[in-house]
Chains A and B, each alone.
Chain A
């Protein structure tokens, strides 16, 4: 009998092309997602060396980081020009590179366009048991459907384009088990914020985290994508959630997913991937779902998490001296005093979107809180950015767009938007944003911007009251 293996080990073993004497493995890559920011130098490298793309059929390109979220077509259906010349040049480069190298390309004005990590699963291009890479750290997201998915740099993008492989060392394994039922108002986002607070921003370094336990099993695919998306915020190379009936129901019938007899064969294979009884992880963390509250960040690292009922911590409350220094710097940047109740922190900007929280379920959760209410007067800027054109169309069919616009929020076109402020959607210096994105880094949402990471329902609650708010108080 073979040794019991984890989900990660099974996927890894199935992708080893060659193992070298020093332990480095040549790993086959099943899916390569490409966007406009981290690919131009890779295509230029291919051109300079006279190389081609080995497997254009396994590659999908879509622009998302730079695209404006304002209308992209005029009244006559013609493409509107992009004001920022640098963004325009980068988008033009992808539009030119994709057909030149024979790669599938979703245009910025196509109905399927969206954030690459929303598009992959939505199109059934991302599948369980596959290896997926993209020049973007939030590729970890696709672990939510049971794919071994991780972000890579531009040199590796070029390497995958040219060879469809990567040279990698096996990762260590880590289990994060969340048992029990979460309380009302607690979402997948709160689960992963809480986990990040517990394990720390470097807690998963060198590891692939498998999320297990009844609270994870109970999540929809949208929720699982949210959790796995932020595996990287805990330092992990990737996140994984074992594929199950929820996964199969989500993927069945999607454009690039297997059909007919192929589908049955695929499901049988996917069912064999779950971690074997008796398999062990290098590291394990167990979390009681009942301990998780609606959560919010106070600092400039995603590990700086407190329950919404909590207060801004004092730097001196941390045991580690380097964390004390970091916390003091964070508080200075965030303009916060230790001891301040999180619920007293006023918010001027709201961002509902990003590859973490821009799927239909996220928009429904935000709309449920905001319905029949209006944004507070001190909230100057509040945008809702659906993750893809298909999410946008679905939300409009359900009337969610009207709920947002009636409440004074703006309804935008799909893209990465204010998550990383590469397009015109930025938070002004010194102002706060309750944001459903994944990073509260210094300057992430614009120079001097102060980010508080929250769930979609919590962002909606902050929009209504004008300050960080316990969404449970707004739930009837």
Chain B
């Protein structure tokens, strides 16, 4: 996973509420056995409109997406995070996310920034003409004007993003603890193993 610290550039002022992962990447794009090339299907129904936001020259390859409440709700498909990553998006800024989407985003080096609606409204305005700056180390979103918004992030997620950590390697360090848990479970509740 590519580490992430500072991201600056144009931010797509998308802003819609309850955007589900079916909208981010429709199911027919899920018939694949790889993670690559999902960007072509990203926001397909919206991009059918020739004047859509995502394909405007100023937002091509923009690293930041500004969205509304409950972004990434619905299906658990990680393909949504792969599709955003393939579009070049490294940061999403929204008032809230579905739990599954925000987890998937972090595992793919995409930072889900949570800011209140008021801050979102201001950033949407700035994004029309100017870049947005995101600093994960200092947990801030700023603009070239006087705007400075601080955001909270779970320390574990922050570390994973800053260091580009592979969670499986990290968990493998707990191999002995997992083994001890399994042994205790077999002793205390042996019926937990599938009977057949």
CB-based contact A205/B76 at 8 Å: no
Of B4-12, B130-138, B165-173, the stretch lying at the interface with chain A is B165-173
CB-based contact B33/A41 at 8 Å: yes
Residues of B within 8 Å of A65, CB to CB, are 30
The answer, among B17, B28, B30, B196, for a CB contact under 8 Å with A255, is B196
CB-based contact B78/A153 at 8 Å: yes
Of B50-58, B139-147, B187-195, the stretch lying at the interface with chain A is B187-195
CB-based contact B192/A255 at 8 Å: no
Q: In the bound complex, what is the Cα–Cα distance between A66 and B143 (angstroms)?
A: 46
CB-based contact A40/B33 at 8 Å: yes
Among B28, B30, B99, the most chain A Cβ lie within 10 Å of the Cβ of: B99
Decide if B61 is an interface residue (CB 8 Å cutoff): no
CB-based contact B17/A323 at 8 Å: yes
Chain A 240-283 interface 0/1 with B at a Cβ cutoff of 8 Å (1 = within): 00000000000000011111001101100100000000000000
Decide if B73 is an interface residue (CB 8 Å cutoff): yes
Interface size counted on chain A using CB atoms at 8 A: 86
Decide if A159 is an interface residue (CB 8 Å cutoff): yes
B42 to chain A, nearest CB (A): 13
Residues of B within 8 Å of A167, CB to CB, are 156, 167, 170-171
Residues of B within 8 Å of A235, CB to CB, are 70, 73, 98-99
Decide if A403 is an interface residue (CB 8 Å cutoff): no
CB-based contact A258/B17 at 8 Å: no
CB-based contact A17/B174 at 8 Å: yes
Which range contains the number of B residues in contact with the other chain?
A: 35 or more
Residues of A within 8 Å of B26, CB to CB, are 443, 447
CB-based contact B34/A41 at 8 Å: yes
Q: In the bound complex, what is the Cα–Cα distance between A127 and B193 (angstroms)?
A: 10
The answer, among A263, A439, A441, for a CB contact under 8 Å with B191, is A263
Q: Which residue of A lies closest to B35 (CB)?
A: A41
CB-based contact A444/B22 at 8 Å: yes
Decide if B74 is an interface residue (CB 8 Å cutoff): yes
Interface residues of B in 67-104 (CB under 8 A from A): 68-70, 73-79, 81, 96-100, 103-104
CB-based contact B196/A441 at 8 Å: no
Q: In the bound complex, what is the Cα–Cα distance between A130 and B193 (angstroms)?
A: 10
CB-based contact A201/B18 at 8 Å: yes
The answer, among A84, A86, A202, A421, for a CB contact under 8 Å with B18, is A202
Residues of A within 8 Å of B185, CB to CB, are 28
CB-based contact B33/A93 at 8 Å: yes
Interface residues of A in 314-340 (CB under 8 A from B): 322-323, 325-326, 329
Interface residues of A in 10-33 (CB under 8 A from B): 17-18, 20, 22, 24, 26, 28, 30-31
Q: In the bound complex, what is the Cα–Cα distance between A442 and B75 (angstroms)?
A: 13
Q: In the bound complex, what is the Cα–Cα distance between A151 and B21 (angstroms)?
A: 13
Asked if A269 meets B178 with Cβ closer than 8 Å, knowing A38-B76, A124-B195, A421-B28, the reply is no
CB-based contact B27/A153 at 8 Å: no
Residues of A within 8 Å of B181, CB to CB, are 17, 28
CB-based contact A17/B177 at 8 Å: yes
CB-based contact A153/B178 at 8 Å: no
Asked if A155 meets B108 with Cβ closer than 8 Å, knowing A162-B168, A169-B154, A422-B28, the reply is yes
The answer, among A90, A153, A156, for a CB contact under 8 Å with B31, is A90
Q: In the bound complex, what is the Cα–Cα distance between A38 and B30 (angstroms)?
A: 8
Q: In the bound complex, what is the Cα–Cα distance between A314 and B97 (angstroms)?
A: 26
Decide if A212 is an interface residue (CB 8 Å cutoff): no
Residues of A within 8 Å of B189, CB to CB, are 265-266, 269
Residues of A within 8 Å of B97, CB to CB, are 205
Q: In the bound complex, what is the Cα–Cα distance between A20 and B156 (angstroms)?
A: 9
The answer, among B99, B117, B154, B196, for a CB contact under 8 Å with A205, is B99
Chain A 57-75 interface 0/1 with B at a Cβ cutoff of 8 Å (1 = within): 1100000011000000000
Q: In the bound complex, what is the Cα–Cα distance between A156 and B78 (angstroms)?
A: 10
CB-based contact B192/A422 at 8 Å: no
Decide if A87 is an interface residue (CB 8 Å cutoff): yes
Q: In the bound complex, what is the Cα–Cα distance between A58 and B182 (angstroms)?
A: 12
CB-based contact B178/A155 at 8 Å: no
Decide if A349 is an interface residue (CB 8 Å cutoff): no
Residues of A within 8 Å of B195, CB to CB, are 124, 255-259, 262
Residues of A within 8 Å of B99, CB to CB, are 171, 205-206, 235, 237
Residues of A within 8 Å of B129, CB to CB, are none
Q: Which residue of A lies closest to B169 (CB)?
A: A49
A322 to chain B, nearest CB (A): 4
Chain A 434-467 interface 0/1 with B at a Cβ cutoff of 8 Å (1 = within): 0000010111100100000000000000000000
CB-based contact A153/B193 at 8 Å: no
CB-based contact B194/A137 at 8 Å: no
The answer, among A55, A84, A86, A171, for a CB contact under 8 Å with B32, is A86
CB-based contact B178/A165 at 8 Å: yes
Asked if A24 meets B156 with Cβ closer than 8 Å, knowing A422-B27, A422-B28, the reply is yes
The answer, among A22, A55, A255, A442, for a CB contact under 8 Å with B155, is A22
Decide if A44 is an interface residue (CB 8 Å cutoff): yes
Chain A 111-144 interface 0/1 with B at a Cβ cutoff of 8 Å (1 = within): 0000000000000110100100001110100000
CB-based contact A17/B178 at 8 Å: yes
Decide if B2 is an interface residue (CB 8 Å cutoff): no
CB-based contact A30/B168 at 8 Å: no
The answer, among B23, B79, B170, for a CB contact under 8 Å with A443, is B23
Known pairs A84-B31, A87-B31, A322-B16 / 18 extra A-B pairs, C-beta < 8 Å: A26-B174, A49-B168, A51-B168, A57-B193, A163-B168, A167-B167, A169-B156, A202-B96, A206-B99, A235-B73, A255-B196, A262-B195, A323-B17, A326-B16, A441-B22, A442-B22, A443-B44, A447-B26
B contact residues vs A (CB 8 Å cutoff): 15-18, 20, 22-23, 26-28, 30-35, 44-45, 68-70, 73-79, 81, 96-100, 103-104, 107-108, 117, 154-156, 167-168, 170-172, 174, 177-178, 181-182, 185, 189-196
5 closest A-B pairs (Cβ-Cβ)?
Answer: A153-B78, A151-B76, A40-B33, A262-B191, A86-B31
